[in-house]
A and B are shown apart, each in its own frame.
Chain A
């Protein structure tokens, strides 16, 4: 017992000050892409060069679909090297089209509409469903339960049964082998409910977007209330998204 207490002092107090203080992310962290929307060359090479089809040029303006972007360290998309990544971890949005980013202000997620906000704003129970990803998004959801993030203090909790949940949080592109289990889990959640897609896979299929064995994330199967892009998203990206959905940021 004394050893436990003394070790507790040795380990120190580790819960972060988020959201009162912004987290310090390493300088090499790749967040919101940084580029000028106007594309002077108009070469449209990026449409071909991004292996995941995240780039499009419309009327000399480049747009990056953050739902498809994997934030690759060696982003091959722009031959002029005009795409770099900022340190901004806040990426969650409410609508799929909001992920089409052309530079400038980023449309961060708005809170739920008043009816559901009233129900879930102070207590949100989520059933996490893993459906064909690589387990990195799952790990970064799990980590929210550690004392660093301490998800419970925001009234958000991952629960064991869909019957106890207010919604599902899905990771993975939804493999064909998991499709019916995902839909069954969604059905088992009593309404009204929320649906959250976490990670490039859950949003649009991620690295497996062209696989014959997967769907392209959750968007094609269910109505999604919150999209959290990234491969995988940083835990603070997920937490920031959840808090925005509940009108807490």
Chain B
């Protein structure tokens, strides 16, 4: 039904589209299609600007809509001048995408209800700054108008960028009435390293290392998403054995982070047994990654065309034995936590996000699944071994810190099971094949379910097969807005617990 109505280019995860054959829509038609897609259950996986190749050409916008149920991604393109009508009011999940386009290219989404800088950098082309900041001065981070509530008994609390623990920088502005938070505004950008601009005319020799450090705890997630884009653009078919090893690394990454996050939640609650056990167990999973490729974070494992390290029989069986050993300890530590009444009392009902808010904001990953919103690209847009092996998507209903913790617990068990199933049925064959040159004028998309949620990478090449634009969407890009909503009407003292239950990345957002 949709297909006849909307003139979309449809592709699969890891698919490409030849841009010379793809029609550009008028902005009205583009916005009609985008809204219709979202109304029909699609979600905006990416929306970004691409500057024209000539000097005088305007800015193109590309929208990638994930149609989860049909395992397709619909691509639309349009062209805009110095401004375009904002769609945020009818489709809140694109609010940050529109702010990003405004900040990067100096193009105004008119009527945007919340048009503020996102990462505090200079505009990428020309010197038209949407906020009229002087072109020869660098914007100051956090220099924007914060939403303020005024009145008797209302006060403002500002936290960051440097926080109390060993944690990345970010700024939080709370509007409180007594202990109660009426509104939280999150202003980030402190970790901005200009990764997307540095990809232009790439891939460069330094690119792979930068992809692995977009967010260090998602080295495999982002590294894999990048490799799948390059493989799609070059038409390279990755050997099955490499795909299995990649999936094992991705699940190990999920396990380390989920177990570590539950431990950190236990620490914030003050339930120290699980906090200490999980701190150690997280290391055990990281050490399994190190056994595989030498790096606890999976650096150097995934490369375009496959993986750099193979698993010989001894290492494979050694890893399985180790997993069996850790499994018991993991479940022991986690069950202790989830059976403790004082822990449950602290988690239940804290930081609740409703299902409709989660859908409106386009939340992904753990945060979405906790609200009963099924989002998992391993399930809906599977690649490699996930096509055959993954059938157990976890969702919870309550949308609170408890649900987010519980999604992690259940995903931990699924991942251990997956590791065992993948590890005991490794196909034979090579683990890496050569990668040829990239196709010209082509768009490629790749979705990877990282441990936080869906990692989206989109690459667009120019006529010479170099990258003309590369767009990265970390799950945290969507989910920080979920944290802000979770804090509404909560006590400000619950912020650390809520924050931890989302477990978001600062550098993944700031890129």
Contacts and interface: CB of A to CB of B under 8 A. Distances in A.
Interface stretch (A56-64, A68-76, A94-102, A104-112): A68-76
A48 to B, nearest CB: 10
Nearest to A5: B273
Contacts of B277: 7, 11
Contact of B216 (A71, A73, A134, A161): A134
Contacts of A177: 119-121, 141, 189-192
A148 interface: yes
B204 A51 contact: yes
A137 interface: yes
A166 B99 CA distance: 41
Greatest chain A CB density within 10 A among B205, B209, B303, B328 is at B209
Contacts of B120: 177
Contacts of A71: 299
A213 interface: yes
Contacts of B308: 73-74
Given A131-B169, A132-B507, A178 B194 contact: no
A55 to B, nearest CB: 13
Contact of A132 (B167, B193, B205, B287): B193
A26 B290 contact: yes
Contacts of A210: 198, 206
B332 interface: yes
Nearest to B161: A181
Greatest chain A CB density within 10 A among B165, B189, B292 is at B165
B134 interface: no
A10 B326 CA distance: 11
B213 A72 contact: no
Contacts of A131: 169, 190
Contacts of A130: 166-169
B283 interface: yes
Nearest to A14: B280
Interface string A209-247: 011111000000000000000011010000000000000
B131 to A, nearest CB: 16
A158 B163 CA distance: 12
Chain B interface residue bracket vs A: 35 or more
A173 interface: yes
B297 interface: yes
B291 A28 contact: yes
Contacts of B300: 30, 72-74
Interface string A124-140: 00001111111111111
B415 interface: no
Contacts of B234: none
A131 to B, nearest CB: 7
A134 B280 CA distance: 21
Contacts of B180: none
Contact of B291 (A26, A134, A143): A26
Contacts, number: 186
Contacts of A178: 141, 161, 169, 190-191
Interface residues of A, number: 64
Contacts of B273: 4, 7-8
Majority-rule SS of B interface residues: loop
A49 B191 CA distance: 28
Greatest chain A CB density within 10 A among B215, B287, B290, B506 is at B290
B294 A141 contact: no
B217 interface: yes
Contact of A160 (B165, B204, B214, B329): B165
Contacts of B157: none
B162 A135 contact: no
Nearest to B336: A7
B346 interface: no
Contacts of B336: 3-4, 7
B219 interface: yes
B279 interface: yes
A146 B280 contact: yes
Contacts of A185: 162
Given A72-B300, A132-B191, A133-B216, A26 B294 contact: yes
Contacts of A14: 280
Contacts of B189: 177
A158 B507 CA distance: 22
Interface string B183-225: 0000001111111011000001110011011111101000000
A103 interface: no
A173 B297 CA distance: 19
Given A128-B166, A214-B193, A148 B280 contact: yes
B166 A208 contact: no
Given A147-B276, A177-B189, A207-B210, A73 B166 contact: no
A139 B329 CA distance: 22
Contacts of A139: 216-217, 297
28 contacts: A7-B273, A11-B329, A30-B300, A52-B209, A70-B209, A85-B294, A128-B165, A132-B193, A133-B216, A133-B507, A134-B214, A135-B216, A135-B505, A136-B213, A143-B279, A143-B282, A146-B279, A147-B276, A147-B280, A175-B192, A177-B189, A178-B141, A178-B161, A206-B213, A212-B197, A213-B194, A231-B209, A231-B213
The 10 closest A-B pairs by CB, nearest first: A73-B300, A136-B216, A134-B216, A146-B279, A28-B294, A51-B205, A160-B164, A134-B213, A51-B206, A213-B194
Given A7-B336, A146-B282, 16 more contacts: A30-B294, A73-B299, A74-B303, A74-B308, A131-B190, A145-B279, A146-B283, A148-B279, A178-B169, A178-B191, A181-B190, A207-B209, A210-B198, A212-B194, A231-B213, A234-B296
